[in-house]
Structure 1
Amino acid sequence: MTVESDPLEADRALKARHRDMWALGDYPAVAAEIIPDLGAVLVDACGVGRGHRVLDVAAGSGNAAIPAALAGASVVASDLTPELLEAGRVLAARRGAEVEWRQGDAEALPYADGEFDTVLSCVGVMFAPHHQAAADELIRVCRPGGTIGLLNWTPEGFIGQMFKAMKPYAPPPPPGAQPPPLWGSEDHVRALLGEAVTDVTVRRQTVTIDRFGSPGAFVDYFKANYGPTVAVYRGIAGDPDRVAALDHALTELARGHLQGEEKAVMEWEYLLLTAHKRD
């Protein structure tokens, strides 16, 4: 049996590529410098408090896990990429937050049914390639009556449009994989969660980004630090024309979103959804 014909081996290879991609650049810097407060927004929306058992899925370096722990919850941060977990341990220790860091695949979480009061993910689970498998796991490990909370970039917002701009320069996705920004579509997420949840609340909000004074500053930063962008550029490094074309596409995208005369800012849109697992 060849690797290509073995679904389990193909999935292992796909997840290995995902681990490697998120280890590129410096995602902990992106989370800390660009969207430092986004995890706390989700934690607050989920009503996380003292004594709650919380799982942060695709936690990265703990953008949501650390605020949840500081709110008094008992928190497990799960991610596919060990390098991000290690960065999270350092950040948590620096902030005095007690978090359990465990490597895990969002599509096959190593936890018992109904183990957590709150299961959340901040711009994390959206990058799991098989959306229904990941959604089913979020539901499975949440206790009946517990909270599921998701914060994801929308397809129409800046990051969704960035992935659209990068798509022509990236390798084609494997069969069955779905685009990450679909998790920012209300209809898509409602369909994924289905009848397993109730009391769904959904809001579209934006986070103000004031880190980039020019389109070029944004492109340079993401080329150096954001794993998916780093990976795309590495894939076309031998073709200067394609590199120049992608530079132009991302520069023009940023130019269209930067606003303000005295201080340039961007508004990045996300979907914030909370729900309760049915009893």
Structure 2
Amino acid sequence: MTVSTINPNKALWEKGDFTRLAETMRESGEELINDLDIVPGINVLDLGCGDGTTAVPAARLGTNVLGVDIASNLVAAGNARARTAGLTNLRFQEGDASSLDDIADHSFDLIVSMFGAMFAPRPFDTAREMVRVTRSGGRIVMGNWIPGDPTLIARILQICGAYTPPPPEGFVSPVTWGVEDIVRERFGEAGICNDRIMCTRGSYTFRYPGSPSAFLALFRNYYGPTINAFDAAERDGKRTELQAELGRLFEIENRGGAFRTEIPATYLKVVVQK
């Protein structure tokens, strides 16, 4: 008898509807793409692309974009956005950033992964795959949340981790991609010289036309790690405690006032020149 196994990473990101959160990230996604000095006609791979927060603006600049995400619902949403926008140079497909089996070597001029590939399992494999599919002279640009950072997403992940069961043996935390020395080690193992890896701090702003508590509700209902944490807290009788802890965080970090939410979050920007 064949026993089907569920990829836990796929199950995590197919929970809820991340497109609802992605709407709050659009402006910063466009800003990031516009800062990359992209020229029309190049081939771009967006890894862990969601429904196209960076893939859509890259395609609007005249590039040929493939978005790859492990979540089938986000792939479907991305293809729908591309059709609605009339972007025939943009398509989305399912895939695992740590195993890009159907993508040929040296296929892309630019790899972009904003808070996407960092969540893939087997980070050394992920680095090797990104390097493998990048042409000589091409670039890899990653945005990764930073462990222990006091700003929004790192704190959300830290708080939620305290309410969920311990991860399975062998689990590597996604936020290790936010540690410069570890990033350099992973790309070094993939054949990239240290002087071709640049790491800087960047800021990514979430913008939501509502109160911080309403914005938190989006995370509670649509963001996989937060959904898991609330489910676990409910079982342990700690849901109110988790809600209060996250509520304080969102209020403190908000820069938009009582009726609008603007929360900047620091990340590690990694640029690899192949």
TM-score, structure 1 length as denominator? 0.85
The residue type paired with residue 70 of structure 2 is L
Question: Contact 2:49/2:69 (CA < 8 Å) preserved in 1?
Answer: yes
The residue type paired with residue 174 of structure 1 is P
The aligned residue for residue 139 of structure 1 is: 131
Give the Å deviation of 1:85.
0.4
Secondary structure of the corresponding residue to residue 61 of structure 1 = coil
Secondary structure of the corresponding residue to residue 36 of structure 1 = helix
Task: Single out whichever of 167-176 and 117-126 deviates more from structure 2.
Answer: 167-176
Task: Single out whichever of 267-276 and 155-164 deviates more from structure 2.
Answer: 267-276
The aligned residue for residue 42 of structure 2 is: 52
Q: 1:79 to 1:226 in 2, by over 3 A?
A: same
Distance 1:178 1:30 in 2: 25
The aligned residue for residue 181 of structure 1 is: 175
Aligned length: 265
Distance 2:210 2:55 in 1: 30
Question: Which structure carries more helix by proportion?
Answer: 1
Is the aligned partner of 1:73 residue 2:63?
yes
The residue type paired with residue 123 of structure 1 is F
Distance 1:105 1:187 in 2: 24
Is the aligned partner of 1:24 residue 2:15?
yes
The aligned residue for residue 246 of structure 1 is: 242
Question: Contact 1:199/1:275 (CA < 8 Å) preserved in 2?
Answer: yes
The aligned residue for residue 141 of structure 2 is: 149
Distance 1:39 1:260 in 2: 19
**Aligned residue among 186, 191, 194 for 1:192:** 186
- Aligned-residue identity in percent: 32
Distance 1:132 1:29 in 2: 31
Distance 1:70 1:260 in 2: 29
Give the Å deviation of 1:28.
1.1
The aligned residue for residue 130 of structure 1 is: 122
The residue type paired with residue 94 of structure 1 is T
Task: Single out whichever of 229-238 and 131-140 deviates more from structure 2.
Answer: 229-238
The residue type paired with residue 166 of structure 1 is C
Question: Contact 2:25/2:207 (CA < 8 Å) preserved in 1?
Answer: no
The residue type paired with residue 191 of structure 1 is E
Report the RMSD for the aligned CA atoms in angstroms.
2.3
The aligned residue for residue 164 of structure 1 is: 158
Secondary structure of the corresponding residue to residue 35 of structure 1 = helix
Question: Contact 1:81/1:103 (CA < 8 Å) preserved in 2?
Answer: yes
The residue type paired with residue 158 of structure 1 is L
Question: Contact 1:24/1:231 (CA < 8 Å) preserved in 2?
Answer: no
**Aligned residue among 265, 268, 272 for 2:265:** 268
